[in-house]
A and B are shown apart, each in its own frame.
Chain A
Amino acid sequence: MSSPTSSTTGRQLFDCRDAYMSALEEMAAADPRVCAVANDSLSSAKLKNFKEKFPDRFINVGIAEQNMVGVGAGLANGGMIPYVCGAACFLTARAMEQVKVDLAYTKANVKLCAMSPGMAYGQLGPTHHSIEDLAWMRVLPNLTVIVPADPVETAAAMRYSLIHEGPMFLRIARVPVPRVHGDDYEFRLGEAVRLREGSDVTLIANGLMVCRALDAANALEARGISARVLNMSTVKPLDREAILDAARTTHGIVTAEEALAAGGLGGAVAEVLAQEHPAPMRILGVPDVFAPTGTAEFLLEHFGLTAAGIERAALELLQREA
């Protein structure tokens, strides 16, 4: 499949939904327990092909997210492994109580595929943005929360989800991203991936912010600053050791996520640091506002969720001149 390239970096870019879809179809072909549940949006959830290949294992409940999640719980009760796929904004907010009770509290073996999260829907506005989801999902006991950084990790996390018993929330990115992981990448739950060594500052990111953190680390290197980069794709369970090690061995931590700055990845990292090893920190995310009108790329720029924004935060943290 041909992929677009970035106009600024020339890198090939990928829609992680393609990787999710291929992985799901492979898993369904190999395991008769795998099924998919959708809420009308077959094309945005990339399920058209799945429906054709596995018509008996595809359920479309229509525009009914509360029911969709409950149906997922019932399918799991009946021994199936349902992948419940829908736009992240509706899947979480509309069905929050079903996610809490039917999945998390029940420990139902249901996988939520939250499509087009963050500000992927750009100009469609805050109704369609899903920047609250990380805060909402990560506080639920029993629920595993994963935010893959690229297509390789998306596919690996999908394959992992099949062997993991219990409810899981996977954020499937729509905004095109370059690859940050090699073909031999293996997903390990709860382990931050150290993508770059560094001793001055640590950049912790997930999702589409990971490649931006790597770019920021390159820019910092040019200034003589050594930045460690951690891909914290598992938000829950959190890799406390990697965070504490970063606090002990570097001079501060910058977190970056395509979500509200309150309650998400940055909040999770801050909870560990505040109680176990206080360290200087900056949390990059969407501030306490609903986004204005603009494309996803415009909004990421608007909120400083860029390599330059991460670089700036690291310099501030180290009290260095920009």
Chain B
Amino acid sequence: MGETIAMEMPPTGPERAAWLKHKANWIRLSAMTMNHHAKLGHTGGDLSAADILAVLFLGGILRVNPAQPRWPERDRFILSKGHGAAAYYSTLAARGFLPVEQLKTYMDPLSMLNGHPDRNKVPGVEANTGPLGHGLPIAVGAALAARMRKESWRVFVLTGDGELQEGSNWEAAMTAQHYGLDQLTVIVDRNRIQQGDFTENTIRMEPLAARFAAFGFAVEEIDGHSTAALFDRLSHLPLESGKPSCLIANTIKGKGVSFAENQPAWHHGVPTKEQLATAAKELDVEGAW
């Protein structure tokens, strides 16, 4: 594995969940600060995904190495909902893949931090995402590569829920089932809101768990804001041997910030300075950076 950058280890036992929640809230405030800076961004989805990202990267679930981002045997994490870039970059910074200072350049001219992630510019990014429905096929390919190379790395992909309206996801799901890719875990950020409206008013996603199960996944629904539940489930994968896993993480778009919660308008809402101050208070974080 070579040189490593020491990871701040989460406490074990009952304090872990609160510690991870605090990290997630830092990611939330950092992402909001970035969106405020860029006057652009996708605040709602950044906030819904924060706990998932914190547990994966800061809870020690992912076997990755910031000193060697392309370490061949690493676990792969693919952010299929590429518009959650601000939360993702904040998470990567917290894990040591890039300096926190870099976050201040979000979407600035020529910044490495584009509005959607670019693996050729940002260490730790596995796939260039942004158009929806791309992450799962790539994740399936990376899982197949692990099998061909007889390696034990695992592949995690975080999708939005509206994103699952793209047919390519279900093409990839069929492949995952056919090849029995149990090193693959799909996490759905089920915040129930897409850009224009609630998902169920747009194109009904339910019964989502049954759909994934019908496509051959072992499925579990969990509270996507419970860092304890996330840590527990993500520590015990696959859900079922021989099957790809799907965790439907029930989340709230805009989670943690009262004025943004469950508001379709906050899909790409940008906070004002005053709203940032309110958010910091509600998230109990003293300014991100």
Contact = CB atoms under 8 A, between A and B. Distances in A.
Nearest to A57: B148
Given A59-B144, A74-B139, A102-B127, A64 B149 contact: no
A62 B142 contact: no
B182 to A, nearest CB: 16
Interface string A286-318: 000000000000000000000000000000000
A80 interface: yes
A98 B133 CA distance: 10
B145 A61 contact: no
B171 A61 contact: yes
Nearest to B133: A66
Contacts of B118: 105
Interface residues of A, number: 30
A79 B148 CA distance: 10
Contacts of B151: 78
B275 interface: no
Contacts of A69: 137
A96 to B, nearest CB: 11
B150 to A, nearest CB: 9
Contact of B76 (A68, A71, A77): A77
Interface string A67-84: 111111111111110100
Contacts, number: 116
Contacts of B143: 74
A57 B142 CA distance: 13
B128 interface: yes
Interface string A17-49: 000000000000000000100000000000000
A80 B149 contact: yes
B258 interface: no
B137 A78 contact: no
Nearest to A65: B171
A59 B179 CA distance: 9
Given A71-B175, A105-B128, A106-B127, A78 B168 contact: no
Contacts of A59: 144, 175, 179
B174 interface: yes
A71 B171 CA distance: 10
B138 interface: yes
Interface in B121-146: 126-131, 133-134, 136-146
B252 interface: no
B99 interface: no
A251 interface: no
B11 interface: no
Interface of B: 72, 76, 118-120, 126-131, 133-134, 136-149, 151, 153, 155, 167-168, 171-172, 174-175, 178-179
Given A70-B141, A106-B128, 9 more contacts: A61-B171, A62-B171, A62-B178, A64-B174, A71-B138, A74-B137, A75-B145, A78-B76, A79-B149
28 contacts: A35-B148, A56-B147, A59-B144, A61-B171, A61-B175, A62-B174, A62-B178, A66-B167, A67-B137, A67-B171, A70-B134, A71-B138, A71-B140, A71-B172, A73-B127, A74-B140, A74-B144, A75-B141, A75-B148, A77-B76, A78-B141, A78-B145, A80-B145, A97-B131, A101-B131, A106-B119, A106-B120, A107-B120
Top 5 nearest A-B pairs (CB, nearest first) are A74-B141, A78-B145, A70-B137, A67-B171, A64-B171
